[in-house]
Amino acid sequence: MAWRRYKLAQAATKKMIMHAFKDYHFLELQDDNGDIVGYTAIELFDHLMDQYVQPEDVADQVTALHKILEHEYDPNEAPQVYYKAVQDARNALDSLNQTIDDETLIRHGLNQFKEHIDLKLDIRSWKLLTRAEKTWSRFKTHFTKAINDNKNDAGTLKAIGMANAVKHQIEQGKENQKLLAQATFEANARIEDLIKASLRELEIGWTKAILHLLAVVVVVVVAVVVVAAHIRGGGITMYTQVVGHLLLFIMGSTAKP
């Protein structure tokens, strides 16, 4: 009877696979008459995986499923919600030939539960169990009972409230420190920009002062040249033109910002 049921289930599964996909997906498996004979449902599934699923797609899916294994436990929800999320990820990974054992699930679960102060003693008692006793089924039972007991314990609820308040203050303090560090960085950058701008203006100011002084010197030189040329009785026009051009150049430079 059991064998007959198995064969019926096998045939039904194979029929569903053949119905879900087109004939051309199974061309490699067809015999000379175009029939697909002698293949089990698992073999058909493996054929589809090998032919039409890209390794890169599988790798991306495996990575995403491993992230789900790190699903965060929400104490406002029943623990079964957390258990189901990681179990679904585990089953999906199994279908991709990525076996996840109980020890891995338990490790992820402990990483989540240790963040909650009310489960501290329960984690300690769990660690006292033998390796053989630490199964996924036992893990779920152990912590489901602990979580439910804590919800009915007024003292525990009060301790949780105080712990959450302290945690909130610590997180708020960290956030304030980040904001202060960011504001300090921006202020320092602004001060540095202002210093650079001031130095540039100071440099420009000194340059203008030097050019003005040079212009005065040129004027004096012009006067001396004119007087000398006048005394010598000639050449005043050439000297005046050369020095005049030089003076115009210097005055033009001082006029620039």
Give the per-residue pLDDT at 144.
94
Q: What residue spans define the domains of the chain? A: 1-52, 55-152, 157-255
pTM assigned to the model: 0.45
Q: How far is CA 254 from CA 78, 158, 196, 202, 257, in A?
A: 80, 77, 22, 14, 8
Dump the DSSP string for 80-128: HHHHHHHHHHHHHHHHTT----HHHHHHHHHHHHTT-GGGHHHHHHHHT
**Per-residue model confidence (pLDDT) at position 218:** 61
Mean pLDDT across 164-180: 65
**Out of 178-182, 196-200, 234-238, least confident range:** 234-238
Residue type, 53: V
pLDDT value of position 49: 74
- For the residues 81-104, what does the mean pLDDT come to? 89
User: DSSP assignment, residue 40?
Assistant: -
